Structure 1
């Protein structure tokens, strides 16, 4: 008999037979086994166990030792469970077991020892509970979390890719994107279709917006010109169709799978890509690829290149791999989706970068073509500067001109057409031509502007414009210059004299084409050391201040100018006022040299100078003149060496480059640094001269006098040379003569 406590505190007596019947008919599967040393044979099971498992004591006895373990399909902690039973400890595990109908379920199994009076465990009692619903629910939650984690990782990868695509001037942008993709696939690479397929780690933004796209050769399938592929055993007979070229031509949308054991025409896109892929994948991974997936990197008008991924199918049958790809089983859906998004965004970014670069180069070339280079003026130091606003890809309307009208007579004009587009540039070009034609015919600025008004009114130029036109005539008796000027709605020129600044605000008038009254002409006289400054509003205009306040700032800054050369005056003003201009900037600085005062005190002005020279022989002489004047201003003694070096560097730019040539000079504190930039990316080469003709020794001269080097700059190159001191040059020359 068994005693239990009832609700009323009385002891209720339950017979052993009643207890046995209750346990046997309980809805929870239960069992009793023998000792561990005996193999834990099943001695008793209740009805629920038989109904659930489909086996009774007799059925289980034929399974041998530990028959319950034979029912278990999966238990990752089997060894731990057996150790618990061996040492007589209770065991609680969740295992996968077979149901009566042959299906599997998850069971929580609790086995507890039934010790004998002597303390030896000879029997075990077990209870099983079906927890399949809870396990499946937990598995579904974990799967959902895994999907969410993977999606977050994919979105993060795409975000990082987008960030890299935002800076395609970085030379390894595509390589870094591939490194990100290798979190999803074992190997990936970009190929751009620039004059045929090329392996790409970065983007050449100088290429046309939609790529050059030269086609690889196509061959008829039964052609005799086959790639034997001797390094690929078992290659099928015949030539496989050029699936890569079809993708490049837009015949296929892609992605496509490329078999690397097939035969392709040797000069076809598929043949070239196959050979390059096999070599690269083997070198980088040590694996022999069977197939790769090829995605199109498409621009607006055509396919710019390819994004190739290898999913790691080493040793797999290529035919089976193709079938798996067609069935959508070659790679996980999320991998294909991410790669397709990356390829699509890469194509758009590359196309946009190339389109922007093309428009920017076109705009800059057009602007430079419309801005004449300053003329050399005997007796005057003239410096000009123009910089378009970096925010505008279009051309601007600022312009200037320096005209050598006659011996001793110079015409200066600076103007501004409203707008930053091609229409503004066209209006600027028309105005420049009109002013030039009348400037050479007439001498008085007011009369010149009257004629310009009349012609512009008839031409119906759609944009309003302002300008200042001035003439400077040399007065031979006292080496002064007589200045006459007129203004059409433009900011007044400034006269800098002995630390004082005066605005030449006389002879003002309305904008060009709106002169209802005859234009006035103002007069002034320039003496030695005087500076005349012409400028456009981009030098002083800012969003956070009015134009009047900007003009006051220019006047105040000009009083502190210390430079004794026109280029130095311009550099001081730019460094203090135009570090980050919000509009186009054009400046013309005219200075009357002071032979006595210029040599007395060394100027503390910025130790850098810049000039923009046309690619023509006359620029070599202008560059020498600029260097000599700068060396004089800075007190640099190696003027002869500087003149030779700058002559050779600029001459190389004129002979072998194109476009404009930028000349920059820097006083580094321990020597003069000369930089010459042109549009030819080919590096300079030191030669032993040209056989049977003159020249070819330029870089040898530079090497004798300076340390030099070069680097890519924009779409061209920059060559630099740092002058050695005279003593160092003599020592180097003596050392070379002794060798």
Structure 2
């Protein structure tokens, strides 16, 4: 390439190389476009023109004005241009043939003899245009195919080449050696194809075979070509066959660098894909959307590992990570299943975390250095014949919260700087939704910790079996409002409470802890006979006065042993689902109240009702939250019927009360809400000798 003034990057050529070319070629010099060279094919198409005169004088016909304007633009900004719709010669110049159709392109060039100028290449399309006119009566599909064929007759003049049917190829406009760092080879062979990206060779061969096989048609293929620096850039080759007497005598084509356009389109696609992260319900789902977005366009496989937050990490222990998402391209072994087990990170990842800078490792196929990923992932790297690992930290709010590992496999080259920059851009784009997902996860962890700390084991009750079970929601945001409690009073009365606070967050979990504690105080410090309705009324007034919660439903029950055996149950229901009774010798039924009391925090001044029922030995009384019966899109009565059926089936199987409670929670497949259940069963009275 010659560097003259602002002509850097413009091809330098000797025009005589085009003497025998079958396409029309003309060379002009200077800003006035003096015609300094044209070959025989040009003369046949446009007639003899005077050399050495400006183009405006040598081509006075009005139809040449657009060509001259195009040459002005090419000479000014050094960018090639083309006209792909056929033009027609009118024959106004002496000796010029009329009625000939052609397409043409203009490229900036520099010649040693004439300096900067413009190279015009015109392709005679008369035969194709006339053929198209002759077959206008054919189907519309055939007509559109011909139009596409004509539109592609002119190739982008970057690296222009001419190829014979036997594979011999000539570079008409040089640029291959400068682009690839390798000399031009006169034959398409395996050495020539070695500059093509390994993953694109099959695609390139297939596209060529389809274009050249049978009736030759235009050829177009986008692939990656190795540059002189060793990196790969996307190029696009276009070629059209030259047919004479029904025989393809040669192909003329061009190969242009389209890396910038390709990368811009890829960036748009990737950023469009990662918008799904904003809809992610939890951290693993959010990170899975990221890995799915970058595979296979940027990397063969991608793994994301989550680091513990500072408030969760154990003090004094080495840093650990948990693999939360992984995706591999088609053709690689299936990725290992996700595991919640943490693993100790190695020195490489520690450097990345400390420096907050990406780090790349390259190694022989299948021989990744130990300790970078968990052993299960390392085994996958060996099977997939991994050759490179690029570790990229994900920084949110000045802290490294996770790191992504881009994996190159087999003969795939490591990602280049542009790939890493785009990968980093994708990770940067998802920082805000990931921050929200991580914050939601931390809130969930705190709420669960608080809730489980308060949901203490049920006490031992002489003469009865008592069990309870709690299960958080399967969705991250639904956590924190349900609770149960059981308390044995000094007189032997057992109190059971089940409740649900409006809201599913840390605030709801905090309110739950306050209500639970206050009800315990109210019940334990009662005056006179225990009355569930009186206890809930007092709790309602306190909750309303202190503004602890917006809305609370609850069932509070007191169970006292009867002198002759069995237990007496008294309960008050504040807008909660009714208790479920499984009589020892009858079908399950719900204990519906004749009068429905309002939830707490609605009207504290209204009186509340206490209901009564005697429990015999073997009866089971269940209090539960609505997470066991509410299913989106289904009637509440259906959920209640299913709960009763599951409870009856568990009892028929001989399940203990603890097993029965666990089975009721496990029966809900997609739990959108957290759920709790507490059960009470009187035991047969044991008679002792007096």
- For normalisation by structure 2, the TM-score amounts to 0.46
* Larger radius of gyration between Structure 1 and Structure 2: 1
Higher relative contact order (CA 8 A, sep 6+): 2
